[in-house]
Structure 1
Amino acid sequence: MSVRNRFGTAAAIALMTTIGAVLLSACGPENSGSGSTTAPTGAAPGSAAPGTAAPGAASGSGSPAPGGKEVNGTSAANHLTISTGTRTVAMNGTTVDFGTVVRDLAWSPDGKKAAFVNGDGDLVLANPDGTGKVTLAKNPGGETWSHPTWLHATTDPGVTDVPGALARFDAIVFASSKGGALKLEKVPTKTPGATPEVLTPHNSEGGSDTMPQPPQTGNTWANAGGHRGEIAYANTPANEVYIYDDYIRPATRDLGKGSQPALSPDGEQLVFVRSVNGHDHLFTRSTQFDRKAEKDLTPSATTDYTEPTWSPDGRTIAARTPDGVSTLPADGSAPPAQVSTVKGLPAYRP
């Protein structure tokens, strides 16, 4: 079974029904950012659509499933969140209604903002409780946007920052598909309504035998990590994973066969997906030039592990499976364990 192609689709996956009816008080996630509530279209300010909870309200249940597995699987302690393509996002042991469809949710480096693609295909920012929504970029139509990631960079210790030098890294990079053509686009986080620009990974030296120019088309599934604006991404036609870094000068490196890459918080490790014996496995490898050894974290896989993400401390990897979400140690010291029956995209909130 090959890695699922999530581009060009807008699958909305409903949360599984929990056993018994459990009443929850309306509360948002801990450490929510501030911001005014954005009412659904046609509703009065601060109100919810008929029959729905207001944005930020808890919905669903975190009660145990048969066998002791957590139906939700998220908590304030583990930082795990799951977006399901519906209005609700699983987090902090409950589900929070964002008041709009949430696809491919990603968190800012400080955990105070969420970026996602809404039901209209636009790129949206919001507070963790679903309030304060801002349309960062409006989809022009005819395109499918997916998998945003928060590009960022910081100065090295002891280095004085040149004013504005790092501003170009304060941006969202996302995948765009139009007429079957895949590309990466970039939009600044501080300029709502800006027109996205195409991000073209390349090498400053113009290509060489040791570092040739990477493919200019077919790029998708970007994921930012580290502190130097690094981006890992996949090239679909080549089935290759690349890492792009233009902190000092543009440089792109091919890291091998795979898809759906994710960089560790420190940028030193990469996890990605590769098909082995009919199932999608998780592999890790160093991002260093002289370290090419790979490790299969799921050598005995009997199911598909896709869409991996790192915990904030870099010790745990969460991945999507056909049955929900599983986690495993990043060093491969233990096999994956299912932590949630919620079927969606896992992401860790810093």
Structure 2
Amino acid sequence: MSARARLRRSAAVAFVSAITAGSALLLTACDPSADAADAKSGTAAPTRSTSPSAVGSASPSSSAGASATPSASASTTPTGSAPAPAATPSTTPTKAALNLTKGTGLTISNGTRYVVMDGKVVDFGTVVRDLTWSPDGKHAAFVDGNGNLQTSDPDGSHKVLIAKAPSGQTWSHPTWQVTVPDSIDPGRNNLLLTADDHGTLRLLTVPAHAGATPAALRLITSDMDGGPGVPQTGNLWPNATGSHGSAVYANKNDGQVYIRDEYTRLDGAAVTKGSQPAADDEGDIVFVRSVDGHSHIFERSVDSHQERDLTPRASADYTEPVVSHDGTTVAFRGPDGIYTVPAKGGTPQKVSDTVGLPAFRG
């Protein structure tokens, strides 16, 4: 990672720490949705950390909340739409022998209350879907068992109810957008997410504080020459990164990956065919593309625009990629767990038996 990127990221970390420190205290104590889920499932009161043998290893079909498009992550169609929330898991997680996440910053959520991180399993005390992290790694954001947007500390404590999903909407795949104030940017601490409103997909933005009101994410409707802008619907799987809050997302209808950079007023454009995109702090993109009947993980350089298949010998579907902030490591979901591979190519390594959504914390 360049010195420029490190300076940007340090500033972003300081900014989000200052802003979120106050909001995290607004809603503490117990989470009502967690209590309801515990009563329904008959599980014991949560402890904050358990041994690795306690982690869930749900199959893709049973961990519907683990991704922005759970049906997509369980199938070979990575551009699937966001589904209705899954039922609260009713059984305790099964044993998972492999957990090589210690010291990597990699975390795994699988639609249960248990999150794999740092070689351990953390009980958040409530259903955790689509877990994502603030740039400093000090705050988690996720969709809870009631379909609402929450944030918390990394151990699941100090939960903050950011916003409740309206009736008929399914929320998924939040991502933190943090920008540093300067002469152009007033500074932001927002969460972007996907809303499935009775089958219509849109991107929303919401301030990362309790009781905030989501709004439609502004997307250009016409280009500088008066031509059509980017699609306003069918958008899903947002991922924001960098100190200026650039984001990538996919469009279900045209099968394209889009980039959004409102800082330079180049608000959006399609960059490649694919789905489920994520980016590192420098803007390099990883995404999913179908090759010979299987979903492969690709990497695209922001500078050269060259694309590399990181899983060229894939004999199964690999989906839901995420790239570390320094751009060196890509993690993704396989049918039997989570894998990592160097961003510049190499042999994928299985790091966990837990099937779920990977994310990098800090």
TM norm structure 1: 0.78
Give the CA deviation at 1:166: 3.0
Tell me which residue corresponds to 2:50.
58
Tell me which residue corresponds to 1:85.
111
**Using the alignment, how far apart are the partners of 1:120 and 1:43 within structure 2?**
9
The structure with higher relative contact order (CA 8 Å, sep 6+) is 2
Tell me which residue corresponds to 1:103.
129
Query: Compared with structure 1, are the counterparts of its residues 96 and 176 closer, same or farther at alpha carbon in structure 2 (3 Å cutoff)?
Result: same
Tell me which residue corresponds to 2:299.
284
Tell me which residue corresponds to 2:93.
none
**Using the alignment, how far apart are the partners of 1:87 and 1:61 within structure 2?**
15
Give the CA deviation at 1:292: 2.9
Gaps of 5+ in 1: 1-32, 64-68, 156-160
Identical aligned pairs, as a percentage?
47
Q: Name whichever structure is richer in helix by fraction.
A: 2
Partner residue of 1:144 out of 156, 159, 170: 170
Query: Compared with structure 1, are the counterparts of its residues 223 and 104 closer, same or farther at alpha carbon in structure 2 (3 Å cutoff)?
Result: same
**Using the alignment, how far apart are the partners of 1:218 and 1:204 within structure 2?**
17
Superposition map of 1:46-195 within 5 A:
51-54=43-46, 56-61=48-53, 71-75=98-102, 77-154=103-180, 161-162=182-183, 165-167=185-187, 169-190=188-209, 192-195=210-213
Q: How many residues align?
A: 295
Structure 1 position 235 matched with structure 2 position 235 = no
The one-letter code of the counterpart of 1:52 is: A
Contact map agreement 1:307 1:345 (CA 8 A) in 2: yes
Query: Compared with structure 1, are the counterparts of its residues 110 and 274 closer, same or farther at alpha carbon in structure 2 (3 Å cutoff)?
Result: same
TM norm structure 2: 0.75
Tell me which residue corresponds to 1:313.
326
The one-letter code of the counterpart of 2:46 is: A
Query: Compared with structure 1, are the counterparts of its residues 245 and 40 closer, same or farther at alpha carbon in structure 2 (3 Å cutoff)?
Result: closer
CA RMSD of aligned residues (A): 2.5
Match of 1:61, SS state, is: helix
**Using the alignment, how far apart are the partners of 2:167 and 2:33 within structure 1?**
22
Contact map agreement 2:222 2:229 (CA 8 A) in 1: no
Match of 1:287, SS state, is: coil
Superposition map of 1:23-38 within 5 A:
38=29
Encode CA deviations 1:86-116: one digit per residue, 9 max, x unaligned: 0110112111111110000000000010000
**Using the alignment, how far apart are the partners of 2:149 and 2:225 within structure 1?**
33
Query: Compared with structure 1, are the counterparts of its residues 196 and 42 closer, same or farther at alpha carbon in structure 2 (3 Å cutoff)?
Result: closer
Partner residue of 1:295 out of 308, 312, 316: 308
Give the CA deviation at 1:51: 4.2
Gaps of 5+ in 2: 1-20, 56-95
Partner residue of 2:280 out of 251, 264, 270: 264
**Using the alignment, how far apart are the partners of 2:146 and 2:270 within structure 1?**
34
**Using the alignment, how far apart are the partners of 2:140 and 2:229 within structure 1?**
33
Give the CA deviation at 1:43: 9.4
Contact map agreement 1:326 1:337 (CA 8 A) in 2: yes
Contact map agreement 1:223 1:231 (CA 8 A) in 2: yes
Encode CA deviations 1:146-190: one digit per residue, 9 max, x unaligned: 0000012236xxxxx24x9433x3100000101110000000113
